[in-house]
Amino acid sequence: MGFGICYLEFNKIMATKSILGLEIAGKYLKIACLKAAAIKKEIVAASGFSIIDLSDEQIAEKIQSFLEEADIKITGSLCAIATDSAITRNIEIPSVNPKEIKDIVGLQVGRHTPYPREEVIVDYINIGSFQKNYTKVLLVIVHRERVDQYVRLLSMLNVEADHIVFTPESLGIQIYKLEKQRVEDKPFGLLHLDKNFTEFIVSAGSKVIFTRNIPLGRQDFIGQAEAGHEKYLEEIKNSLEAYAGEDIGEGVSQILLTGSGRECPGLESFLAEELSLPVFSVAADKNLTISHGLDLEAENQKGIYFDSLFSSLSVAPDTELNLIPDEVRLKKDFQQKSKEIIKTGVLLLIAFMLIVTPLGIDVYLKENRLKQIDSRYQPLQKEVYELESIFSKVSSVRQYLKGRHYVLRLLEGVYAAIPDRMSFENIRYDPEGKVYIRGTAESMPAVFNFVSQMEANALFEEVKSERTTTREEGGRRVVDFRIEANLVNEEDM
């Protein structure tokens, strides 16, 4: 049984999962499928298309066609929220207690969003404590419509929403893993260029501490490189100033370009010169295996880059934010607990069967053996009944004869001890050997003499005179007496 459980756990660890990733970035939907095993992560399919004027049903049909063409059976899902669909704020919380921080964040949400509280989903990253009793957090606010759209699309595909992540956090963790030696633990800037916007991210180690959405993307550089660079530079400077104004930590030590920023001619050297900071281009998918049949270049030509989605698929278990709605999370928790209860019940049933089955087999074998013995000795049963009847009659006769023998012995003993001029009213004994004698003697000494004679007789023990009374009879005095004794068992003599 122990080996079986270990084998199941090993299979669970080594099992390959096919995870569907979705990211709505501006007017485009990015789709990717990751096959993840314990020792390998491989992107097996990726695509993107415009969702302008498409209903959710039409989008779901396109996703379904993509999955059927790739021949992939989905076992998990991930959805990514980019900065163009979120509001972020760096705030200070007057507490270091995790529960109090969560409660205070819930109360302060209304101050940082124009939407009613029930229309947004909120989570936060704990940046760390400062001063004595204060904590800095990065607050992330997302309108429910975008999250609900993801949930609707997955529901149409018969897939549950497992993770809804924030792309800046995923990118920060992924790039830190890839460039850990270069960035060390100092805050570094990350510019992720998408088709229509840019995500400006500051990460301290693997923890994202600041984000800002820049409404300039890859398309703003096409055909106007120099002018596009200038506008982009201005937005980056504004972002760096905004970060410095939050007084979160040290200044940015370097900037890393990812997404379509790696494909913008001269952007890396231009930013390095104008910002006086080291600027490097980084491919966020360096630690992932890309399937040989997957042509990402064709997607890049359409202005669709997958760095943010690939990063989210790769590091989802390491993220701190989870933007799944509470009702979806509760439903998943309930389903998970139900599965665990069912699994526990099955294991208990198996254990019960393993214990009871050998006992049942043993009982069955013994019962079968008893039937064989009963069948074997069935012909002798009539003779046994006859012998029992004869034995019962013999026992009755022996008991009767034994009783007569007791009477004879009793009379023999009394006769040997009786003195002259003494009469008996009755002599009786019980099955336990107790003797009772009532009679009349001419004097008290005669009674004492009779008792002495009985005590001297080996047939009796514990002889005692229970009662003596004197009366007149025929002009003379006589003594009535009552004597008790034990008749000695013949075997004890």
Comparison of pLDDT for 4 and 121, the residue scoring more:
121
Chain-centroid distance, C-alpha 105: 30
Would you call 350 helix, strand, or coil by DSSP?
A: helix
Residue that is written with structure tokens 């064989």 in the block: 372
The confidence band for 62, taking pLDDT boundaries of 50, 70 and 90, is: very high
Comparison of pLDDT for 190 and 230, the residue scoring more:
190
The confidence band for 5, taking pLDDT boundaries of 50, 70 and 90, is: very low
The confidence band for 379, taking pLDDT boundaries of 50, 70 and 90, is: confident
Comparison of pLDDT for 228 and 218, the residue scoring more:
218
The predicted-structure confidence for 396-417, as pLDDT tens digits, reads as follows 666 655 555 666 666 776 766 6
Q: Which residues of 293-322 are buried (b: 16+ CB within 10 A; e: fewer)?
A: ebebeebbeebbbbbbbbbbbbbbeebbbe
Q: Which fold has domain 418-492?
A: Gyrase A; domain 2 (3.30.1360)
Dist. CA 484–CA 130, nearest whole Å: 106
- With contact defined as beta carbons under 8 Å apart, do 79 and 150 qualify? yes
Q: What is the pLDDT of residue 34?
A: 92
Beta partners for residue 426, in sequence order? 438
Residue that is written with structure tokens 């929220």 in the block: 81
Q: Does the reported pTM lie above 0.75?
A: no
Please give the DSSP secondary-structure letter assigned to residue 133. Answer: T
Lowest mean pLDDT among 91-95, 323-327, 385-389: 385-389
The predicted-structure confidence for 266-324, as pLDDT tens digits, reads as follows 888 889 999 999 999 998 888 888 887 788 877 777 778 899 999 999 999 899 998 98
Backbone φ, ψ for residue 477 (5° rounding): -90, 135
Lowest mean pLDDT among 9-18, 233-242, 250-259: 9-18
- With contact defined as beta carbons under 8 Å apart, do 125 and 320 qualify? yes
Q: Which residue ranges make up each domain of the chain?
A: 16-324, 418-492
The predicted-structure confidence for 138-181, as pLDDT tens digits, reads as follows 999 999 999 999 999 999 999 988 999 999 999 999 999 999 88
For residue 332, give both structure tokens. Answer: 């998943």
| Helices 56-70, 144-156: crossing angle, 10 deg rounding | 50
**For residue 423, pLDDT beyond 90:** no
Please give the DSSP secondary-structure letter assigned to residue 253. Answer: -
Please give the DSSP secondary-structure letter assigned to residue 138. Answer: E
Rounded average pLDDT over 363-392 = 78
CATH class of 16-324: alpha beta
Rounded average pLDDT over 389-395 = 73
The predicted-structure confidence for 321-366, as pLDDT tens digits, reads as follows 989 888 877 777 777 778 888 888 888 888 888 888 888 888 888 8
Determine which helix (DSSP H) or strand (DSSP E) holds 269, and give its type and residue range: helix 267-275
Q: What is the pLDDT of residue 243?
A: 93
The predicted-structure confidence for 427-448, as pLDDT tens digits, reads as follows 887 777 788 888 888 888 888 8
Pairing status of strand 41-50 against strand 28-36: antiparallel
Q: What is the pLDDT of residue 400?
A: 56
Query: How high is the mean pLDDT of the chain?
Result: 84
Q: What is the pLDDT of residue 6?
A: 41
**For residue 202, pLDDT beyond 80:** yes
